[in-house]
Structure 1
């Protein structure tokens, strides 16, 4: 009977970990064979299993030449694992928006693999220490490998972290799992397989390294499988049916007599039939649940659109009652005056009435245009047409347009601008609306005095301001200045 020592126990745990990692890799892969992330994860799992085997060979081989080759392979395979981690982090859950330097990364990983595995650059030889333990005699490449490993782990961490802001809530949670796994597993694995063996002059501590990989692969597998949990039910039922079918087929092949053979054949047919029904029912359940999820998602999207339409309806009604009532009242009043015989026989009075109606109509047009533009901005449908325009000429023409309106209120409207002309790249229509609104509000809320439009060029910016001698803006309103209907 083999004595149960600590080495045997840790070796058994390492074997279980290797099998678990292989199962995780296969499970992730078969959940979606077309997914690049899943294929990369399977590759990473396989390399990790090879690395665990190399670690176990270093401890249990008795031939020191083979031990040396196995110890070198530990570092060589680790360099390929770092490449897989980086490649996986670049594509999971979406590709990074910066250019991937895959050929350079792959070349450096293969070069490090070859140098570590087939030369004494990192590990010169494995030999007995003075204390009787096996130890590595390290070469000059040991420190280069340490820097290489740390750099690639840091690059993988940064690659994942840089995508966090552009991810959805679920994908961000998945990425956090992987970031945690990369950090913990890399630090622990490097400590147990590169630092502690050098400090203790013993290779037995490397046996603890394989179990550290679970800190990365388990959270990563969970993150990858998160969106495919229903498919796993189908895979599980297929796998279970296959195992039972294979076991009964084996019984058929080793039957001792005809009666046992026929009985096993009938059992095999029955298991195949009911297994097919099981798989079919599971697939049907999965499809129904996925269909329900899609319908629920569509319904939620439709509800949001309806809520948006309802909000738009209420805003428009509020807008109509709040903003359009005043100019419409003015138009109605002057239209009533226009039917008075005293005004019909006076061209000057009729001209004044038509001017007032025209002003109110222009005000209504600007209000409606502003409202529609606000809705377009909220819905992300606003478009801008940028082209060169003379900002001085535009501002001057708008001031001239508003001077009759200001004069009728007894206000002095002036433009303060020392620039003869200045060309800027802007949307002239939108810019015109902004200046119109500023001047219109200044005149509207100023009972007497003046309104001044100032246009000046700073070091790196153009400043347009409108000042007036009106009532100003109350302090309690300033915080809501850019809200609707303020």
Structure 2
């Protein structure tokens, strides 16, 4: 078995080269299917595999007739081999290339015609001499052998000329890619020249001719690296390629160790299936890596967009804070002067003027409240909301609010009820002005959105919490409205129809303040048109 293995060492070498070139070709193609360079490299790899198999069989089949046809297939694939080398160097390293008209109308038809002609007696007429072991020693050339030689040599020289030209004209960033391909080309042609021409022609040593695929490996490997140089593969892909390559080589070695024709056929089938599986595995891993890279790129873009949005949001908050601060001072001054005029500090005004000034005063108060809401919103967004915590009585703050809004309730014909707790509620730690703002906002909203009936305010102790409830007989809430009522700039459709002057900020600010106290705020309602209850719970500290 050991002797059989080493006897077929040339077959193992060809198998390794074929597997490597095939895997490299598909890896390049799968890395960028749309690139014409990747597609051409794949075609080159496939033709190389067929040429390698035909070349090896031609030198190892003892039947002269079969060997003669293998020779024709070798030169058939050699025509396409030379053409694809030319095409590869023509398109490399671009992703898209527009071919000139002469490519489709002259060069391609000429290559097709030549590849067909080499299969006829016009290139190889017949077998001239057969060696003692049954191998073809010499053939009779036909009249078209010159055409074949001219086409192949011209394509190869044109390809090398293109590559050298592109290397010298390449910009600094791409020059290294061309140098890698040029190096691989030089190594391959040097090996082919020595082992496939010099040794057979001058030293009568044709032993290395079947190893042509091995000599093509430097070109394939260097070109593979050059194509992927600026798109380096993930380590996971490289690991998969290495594992796949060794699996394929292991399967191929089993062919060499086969003892019968049946076992050989079976091992060949296993080898082919494993090669296909390896390519599909690499494809799957590359797809996974590509998706991960796309996700990482998308994440970077989102992070950049979020950073820009945060910057814009900060600018908006800064502007809002500046604008509202600038507005509040003149509004407060206006409020003071109107109040002094109504009180007669500048002399007695007529009843009509006082009535008009009261309306101006109410409008000014609404503007001040709106500015305060925007100021609070700005502080919340910038994280600058400050608190002055001290021990205070929740029921006393509620009573103050009731006193401030009783007149507003009367003007709408509503009854404002205050269910004062007896005995008084225990004091707790809170920011009195902030809690006053929350309760004022809840009662004021209840008055605004209630057309008839009453608004009731109740404070009580519930376990370790103090609970404040503001109930009304107003427009009520549905389940959807309750879910988004405390969001920023959120208003219900019925609420907008009942009071167009709201802005959806007050309840958002109220929730933030209550949560900062370690409490919670929520709304309850049996349904639309059936009133609602807003509850606040604060921990007793």
TM-score, normalised to structure 1's length? 0.46
TM-score computed with the length of structure 2 as normaliser? 0.42
Q: Which has the higher helix share?
A: 1
Structure 1 or 2, whichever has the larger Rg, is 2
